């Protein structure tokens, strides 16, 4: 029998009703405890790390310990971290990491599919099929149309690559201007967005929710868009003023829209968005493929192994920006768990 290690094994909370698959290696090196939302406040003070597996939670701000307590590392099984940017966590020394790498390709495929589906009126074809109606229509090419993608992070970049592969002309708008970006060429500054928006056939929102982007798509923005343009949102719901989007669709300013995110999720049954003209309501699933839970567990397990052994973490969120800067996706900021502390 080997002697038990004298150093304390880190206590890792998982916000989930049951332990996700794929965390055996974590459990071998941690005191891994799954807690439901109701027990979060009681468990957080003694935790070294928190895996926010149920990433739709809104329980964290109320449960977070006061007085600078709380785990030193929080990892979320999502790309967006807006739900973690409440003051007590944002202003703390706690490191926040996300699940960048899991969602980009599926989301980009979903966006490409919605662009084609809107251009070719797939929804109208499904609708007619239900009534056994054979009705030929002429539709649109997507090649050579022009799209503006808002969001310079990995999701926006994957969308740009995918739409360009389909022959669209695409501009990417990020936080600040950068020329000669090896992946996408020019990244336009946020200040250029209004001008590019006005020329776009397609406007795709793939940005993080921040103070700057909240309510960005309002009546003024839709009024600035080309008549007949279409809008796709895979970012976060609160970036869109939904009643303004509804009006833009009803007045024909926009020819269509596809939303995978909403201000309130699930979208309430009485929301007028459900039957807005030419609007697709998708239940926040564009990123979620058959392997997504395994992929999410693997991302956390990799970061846990780094944390445990004192190596830099991947996907460290810049809490001032509210997202993982492109340059910080790969390990760069050294951090170590204080075992035995």
Given the residues 75, 236, 253, 308, select the one marked as catalytic. 236
Return d(Cα 332, Cα 265) in angstroms, integer: 35
**Active site annotation includes 236:** yes
Applying CB under 8 A, the span of 159-167, 180-188, 196-204, 305-313 interacting with its own copies comes to 159-167
CB nearer its own copies, residue 165 or residue 305: 165
For position 167 contacting its own copies by CB under 8 A, the verdict is yes
**Active site annotation includes 25:** no
Q: Which of 68, 191, 277, 283 touches its own copies (CB under 8 A)?
A: 283
Q: How far is the CB of 22 from its own copies (least distance, A)?
A: 15
Sheet with 146-150, side-by-side order of all strands: 178-181, 185-188, 169-173, 146-150, 202-205, 229-233, 254-259, 279-281
Return d(Cα 71, Cα 65) in angstroms, integer: 9
Given the residues 127, 183, 265, 338, select the one marked as catalytic. 265
SS (H, E, C) 147-185: EEEECCCHHHHHHHHHHHHCCCEEEEECCCCEEEECCCE
Residues 6+ apart with CB under 8 A from 83: 55, 56, 57, 58, 60, 76
Q: Which of 25, 37, 82, 109 touches its own copies (CB under 8 A)?
A: 109
Which residue in 98, 6, 28, 50 sits closest to 305, CA to CA?
Answer: 28
CB nearer its own copies, residue 248 or residue 296: 296
Q: How far is the CB of 100 from its own copies (least distance, A)?
A: 17
For position 88 contacting its own copies by CB under 8 A, the verdict is no
**Active site annotation includes 265:** yes
Applying CB under 8 A, the span of 70-78, 85-93, 165-173, 209-217 interacting with its own copies comes to 165-173
The residues that touch its own copies, with contacts defined as CB under 8 A, are 105-106, 109-110, 112-114, 116-117, 119-120, 122-123, 125-129, 132, 134-143, 162, 165-167, 265-267, 269, 274, 280-286, 288-292
């Amino acid at each position: 029998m080997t002697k038990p290690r004298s150093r304390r094994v880190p206590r890792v909370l998982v916000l989930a009703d049951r332990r996700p698959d794929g965390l055996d290696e974590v459990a071998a090196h941690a005191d891994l405890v799954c807690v439901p939302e109701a027990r979060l406040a009681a468990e957080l003070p003694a935790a070294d790390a928190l895996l926010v597996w149920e990433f739709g939670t809104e329980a964290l701000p109320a449960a977070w310990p006061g007085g600078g307590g709380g785990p030193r590392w929080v990892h979320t099984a999502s790309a967006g971290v807006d739900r973690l940017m409440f003051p007590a966590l944002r202003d703390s020394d706690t490191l926040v990491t996300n699940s960048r790498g899991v969602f980009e390709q599926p989301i980009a495929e979903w966006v490409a599919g919605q662009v084609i589906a809107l251009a070719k009126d797939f929804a109208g074809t499904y609708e007619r099929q239900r009534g056994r109606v054979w009705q030929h229509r002429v539709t649109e090419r997507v090649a050579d149309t022009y799209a503006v993608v808002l969001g310079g992070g990995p999701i926006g970049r994957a969308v740009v690559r995918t739409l360009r592969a389909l022959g669209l002309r695409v501009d990417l708008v990020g936080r600040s201007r950068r020329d000669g970006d090896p992946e996408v060429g020019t990244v336009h500054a946020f200040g250029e967005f209004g001008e590019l928006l006005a020329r776009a056939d397609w406007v795709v929102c793939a940005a993080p929710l921040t103070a700057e982007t909240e309510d960005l798509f309002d009546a003024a923005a839709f009024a600035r868009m080309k008549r007949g343009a279409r809008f796709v949102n895979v970012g976060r719901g609160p970036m869109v003023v939904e009643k303004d989007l509804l009006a833009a669709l009803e007045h024909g300013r926009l020819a269509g829209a596809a939303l995978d995110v909403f201000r309130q999720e699930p979208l309430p049954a009485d929301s007028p968005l459900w039957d807005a003209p030419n609007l697709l309501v998708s239940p926040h699933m564009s990123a979620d493929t058959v392997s997504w839970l395994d992929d999410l567990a693997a991302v956390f397990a990799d970061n846990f192994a780094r944390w445990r052994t004192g190596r830099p973490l991947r996907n460290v969120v810049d809490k001032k920006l509210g997202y993982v800067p492109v340059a910080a996706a790969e390990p760069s900021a050294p951090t170590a768990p204080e075992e035995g502390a």
